C-alpha cells in the first residue's frame, strides 16, 4: 500500500483567484521542481536548499517561462505527508495552474487521488486515523461548533485518550495470555484488582464518548427545525426573519408555500437548519396536499418543531389551536415543541395577557417587526444540550468511530462480566483481544485497504 511516487494536485479551489497553490509530494518532488525552476538569484539550485525555505523564481519548460512563483520546500520527514513536499504558489489563472500541473505530469508526476496527501501523512505516522479524518471535518466545518470539534479531534484529544487506554489494556492482555502458558501452576500475573479498575475506567470513558455522539451528530449536520402551522400564519415570514433575507415567498394568500424550503444559519455557534413547510389544512388541491404530506415527514425528520399560529385566531378561535397543539403533542410526544403566537403586533396588551393565560408555554412573536425572534433562537439553543461542547469535552461526530466505540463497549462489558463470574483466563483473553481490535480501528492501528479507501475517497483532491 505504501507508495512514494511523486503526486501533484492543486491545493487551492479550482478557478481563478489571486494566487493558486500547487502541491507535490514524493521522492522526486524536489528534483522535478528544481529542474524546472529558475531562481531570480542567478545559479541558485532548489535541490541544494534547506528545508522550510521559500524561493522566488520562474517555472520554465524548455525555454518557455510559465509564471513567476514562490516555491516552498519541506523536506522529509518534516512535512505534512512526511515525504519531500514542494508547494508552488503561482498566479491564480486556471490556464497557468493547468500549464504547471501538465508540465510536471509530463516530467513523471502522477495526479493525486482524493485525500492522498493526508493518506500518506497517515501511512507515514504523521497523523493517526481519527486525526486524518478530522482534517476532512475541519475543511467541511461551517460553524463555530463543528470547527471546534474538528480542531480538537485533529489535535488528537480523542484518539490519544483511546490510544492510552488501548496501551494499558494491551499490557493486561499480554499478562493474561502469559498466565495461560503457566496454566498448570495456577499463577496470576495480571493483578485482578488493577485489571478491574482499568476496565471500569474504560467503561466510563467509552460511555461518555458514546453519549457525546448524540450532541456531536447534531452539531455536525445542523439541527433541523421544522416550522409548521396553518396556512397564512406567517411561517415563511418567520423563516425570512430568521435568515435575515427574503428566502421564501410571502403573501396574504393561504397556501403560498407548496413545497418545503430549507436554509441553514448559525446561532450561538450551532448550525440550525430551518425548514419552512406548507401550511397544514384540509385541501382538495393536489399540489398543496402533497406539500402538506411532506410537512409531516419534515416534522418526523426534525429535532425540534416550531408550531406557529396567528394570535388573532388565538383570541377568536382558541379551541381549534389548542386542539392542533394537542394533536402534534400526541403524534410526536418525544419531540421538543415550541409554541409561537405570531402577528402579536395586531393584538393589544389585554389580548396578549389572555392568550398567555390560555396557553402558558406560548412565546410571543411578530415575524413582521422582528419582535421575539431573538428570544426564539435563544429558546432553541437551550433545547439543545451542548454542555459538553462548552466544557470543551471530547465529542464524537464520526459514525465510524461511534460504531467502533459501541462494539468496544460491548466487548469490555463481556470482560467485566467475565471478571465478575470468574471466567477462565483463556476465554477472557478472547474478549480483551476483541475490544483491542475495535480500539485499534479508531486510531488506525488496525486498518485494511477498503477502510482507508472509503475514508480518503471523501476528501478533496489536493488534501
Ligand atoms: N401583521 C403581521 N402580519 C404578518 C406577520 N407575519 C406574517 N404576516 C403576514 O401574513 C401573511 C402570510 O404570511 P406567510 O409568511 O406567507 O405565511 P405562511 O404561513 O408561510 O403561509 P402559507 O405558505 O400559505 O402556509 C403575509 O401577508 C405576511 O405579510 C406578523 O408578524 N404580523
Ligand atoms: Mg409560506
Tens of pLDDT, residues 54-79: 999 999 998 899 999 999 999 999 99
| 384 — pLDDT class (breaks 50, 70, 90) | confident
The atom number, within ligand 1, closest to the CA of 257 reads: 23
Is 256 a pocket residue for ligand 1 (Cβ < 6 Å)? yes
Average pLDDT over residues 135-149: 84
End-to-end CA distance of the chain: 18
Pocket lining: 335 vs ligand 1, CB cutoff 6 Å: no
Mean pLDDT of 407-422: 93
Q: From the CA of 42, how far away is ligand 1's center (Å)?
A: 71
pLDDT of residue 266: 82
Nearest to 238 by CA among 223, 251, 248: 248
Whose Cα sits closest to atom 11 in ligand 1?
252
Could you write out the three-class secondary structure of 304-361?
EEEEEEEHHHHHHCHHHHHHHHHHHHHHCCCCCEEEEEECHHHCCHHHHHHHHHHCCC
Minimum-distance ligand 1 atom for the alpha carbon of 371: 31
Q: Are strands 110-111 and 7-10 parallel, antiparallel or unpaired?
A: parallel
**Ligand 1 neighbour 222 (Cβ under 6 A):** no
Instruction: Point out the ligand 1 atom lying closest to the alpha carbon of residue 369.
Output: 31
pLDDT tier at 225 (50, 70, 90 boundaries)? very high
* Residue with CA at minimum distance from ligand 1 atom 13: 234
Distance from the CA of 359 to the center of ligand 2, in angstroms?
24
Residue 18: band (very low, low, confident or very high) from pLDDT cuts 50, 70, 90: very high
Distance 342 CA to ligand 1 centre (A): 9
* Nearest alpha carbon to residue 439 among 98, 158, 212, 241: 158
Ligand that lies nearest to the alpha carbon of residue 279, given by its number in the listed order: 1
> Please, which pLDDT band fits residue 322 given cuts at 50, 70 and 90?
very high
Give the Cα separation of 428 and 190 in Å (integer): 12
Q: Ligand nearest 312 Cα, by number? A: 1
pLDDT, tens only, 74-120: 999 999 999 999 999 999 999 999 999 999 999 999 999 999 999 99
Q: Is 198 or 287 the better-scoring residue by pLDDT?
A: 198
Rounded CA separation 155/212 (Å): 18
From 233, 237, 367, the mutation candidate for ligand 1 (largest count of ligand atoms within 8 A of CB) is 237
Tell which residue, 355, 335, 330, has the closest CA to residue 344: 355
pLDDT value at residue 80: 96
Q: What is the DSSP letter of 41?
A: S
231 lines ligand 1 (CB under 6 A): yes
Q: What is the pLDDT of residue 130?
A: 87
Q: Could you tell me the distance, in angstroms and rounded to a whole number, from the CA of residue 32 to the centre of ligand 2?
A: 60
- Select the more confidently predicted residue: 106 or 399: 106
Q: Calculate the average pLDDT of the chain.
A: 88
> Best substitution site from 226, 227, 228, 234 to test ligand 1's pocket, by max atoms within 8 Å of Cβ?
234
- The residue with greater pLDDT, 141 or 349, is 349
Query: Ligand 1 atom 2: the closest Cα is on which residue?
Result: 343
Cell numbers at 83, concatenated = 515525504
Q: Is the CB of 405 under 6 A from ligand 1?
A: no
Predicted local confidence at residue 386, as pLDDT: 54
Q: Is the peptide bond before 77 cis (omega within 30 degrees of 0)?
A: yes
Identify the DSSP state of 366. Answer: B
The verdict on the CB of residue 258 being under 6 Å from ligand 1 is: no
- CA–CA distance from 269 to each of 144, 266, 435 (Å)? 5, 6, 36
Q: Is 343 in the pocket of ligand 1 (CB under 6 A)?
A: yes
Ligand nearest to the CA of 246: 1
Report CA(324)–ligand 1 centroid distance (Å).
19
Q: Quote the ligand 2 centre to 187 CA distance (angstroms).
A: 75
What pLDDT does 448 receive?
Answer: 78
Q: What is the DSSP code string of 244-275?
A: TS--S---SSTT---S-EEEEEEETTEEEEEE
* Angle separating helix axes 157-181 and 144-154, nearest 10 degrees: 40
pLDDT in tens, 301-320: 888 899 999 999 999 999 98
Per-residue CA distances from 362 to 65, 322, 385, 389 (Å): 70, 11, 22, 29
Q: How far is the CA of 366 from the centre of ligand 1 (A)?
A: 10
Amino acid at each position: 500500500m505504501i507508495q512514494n511516487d511523486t503526486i501533484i494536485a492543486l491545493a487551492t479551489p479550482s478557478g481563478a483567484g489571486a494566487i493558486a497553490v500547487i502541491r507535490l509530494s514524493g521522492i522526486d518532488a524536489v528534483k522535478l521542481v528544481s529542474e524546472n525552476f529558475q531562481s531570480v538569484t542567478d545559479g541558485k539550485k532548489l535541490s541544494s536548499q534547506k528545508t522550510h525555505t521559500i524561493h522566488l523564481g520562474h517555472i520554465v519548460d524548455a525555454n518557455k517561462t510559465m509564471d513567476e512563483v514562490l516555491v516552498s520546500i519541506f523536506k522529509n520527514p518534516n512535512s505534512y505527508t512526511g515525504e519531500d513536499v514542494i508547494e508552488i504558489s503561482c498566479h491564480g489563472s486556471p490556464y497557468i495552474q493547468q500549464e504547471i500541473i501538465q508540465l510536471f505530469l509530463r516530467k513523471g508526476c502522477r495526479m493525486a487521488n482524493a485525500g492522498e496527501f493526508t493518506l500518506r501523512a497517515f501511512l507515514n505516522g504523521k497523523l493517526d486515523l481519527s486525526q486524518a479524518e478530522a482534517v476532512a471535518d475541519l475543511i467541511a466545518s461551517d460553524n463555530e461548533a463543528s470547527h471546534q470539534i474538528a480542531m480538537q479531534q485533529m489535535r488528537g484529544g480523542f484518539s490519544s485518550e483511546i490510544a492510552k487506554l488501548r496501551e494499558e489494556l494491551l499490557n493486561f492482555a499480554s499478562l493474561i495470555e502469559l498466565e495461560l502458558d503457566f496454566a498448570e501452576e495456577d499463577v496470576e500475573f495480571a493483578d485482578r484488582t488493577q485489571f478491574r479498575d482499568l476496565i471500569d475506567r474504560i467503561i466510563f470513558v467509552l460511555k461518555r464518548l458514546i453519549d457525546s455522539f448524540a450532541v456531536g451528530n447534531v452539531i455536525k449536520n445542523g439541527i433541523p427545525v421544522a416550522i409548521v402551522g396553518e396556512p397564512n400564519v406567517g411561517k415563511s415570514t418567520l423563516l425570512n426573519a430568521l435568515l435575515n433575507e427574503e428566502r421564501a415567498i410571502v403573501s396574504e394568500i393561504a397556501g403560498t408555500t407548496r413545497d418545503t424550503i430549507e436554509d441553514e444559519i448559525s446561532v450561538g455557534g450551532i448550525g440550525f437548519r430551518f425548514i419552512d413547510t406548507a401550511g397544514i389544512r384540509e385541501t382538495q388541491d393536489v399540489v398543496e396536499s402533497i406539500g402538506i404530506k411532506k410537512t409531516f415527514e419534515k416534522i418526523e425528520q426534525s429535532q425540534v418543531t416550531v408550531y406557529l399560529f396567528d394570535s388573532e385566531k388565538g383570541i377568536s378561535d382558541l379551541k381549534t389551536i389548542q386542539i392542533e397543539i394537542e394533536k402534534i403533542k400526541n403524534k410526536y410526544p418525544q419531540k421538543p415543541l415550541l409554541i409561537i403566537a405570531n402577528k402579536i403586533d395586531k393584538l393589544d396588551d389585554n389580548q396578549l395577557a389572555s392568550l398567555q393565560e390560555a396557553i402558558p408555554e406560548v412565546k410571543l412573536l411578530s415575524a413582521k417587526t422582528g419582535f421575539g425572534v431573538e428570544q426564539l433562537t435563544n429558546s432553541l439553543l437551550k433545547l439543545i444540550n451542548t454542555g459538553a461542547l462548552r466544557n470543551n469535552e471530547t465529542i464524537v461526530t464520526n459514525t465510524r468511530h461511534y460504531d467502533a466505540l459501541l462494539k468496544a463497549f460491548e466487548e469490555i462489558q463481556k470482560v467485566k462480566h467475565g471478571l465478575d463470574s470468574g471466567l477462565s483466563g483463556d476465554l477472557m483473553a478472547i474478549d480483551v483481544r476483541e475490544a483491542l481490535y475495535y480500539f485499534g480501528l479508531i486510531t488506525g492501528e488496525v486498518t485494511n485497504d477498503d477502510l482507508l479507501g472509503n475514508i480518503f475517497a471523501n476528501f478533496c483532491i489536493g488534501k
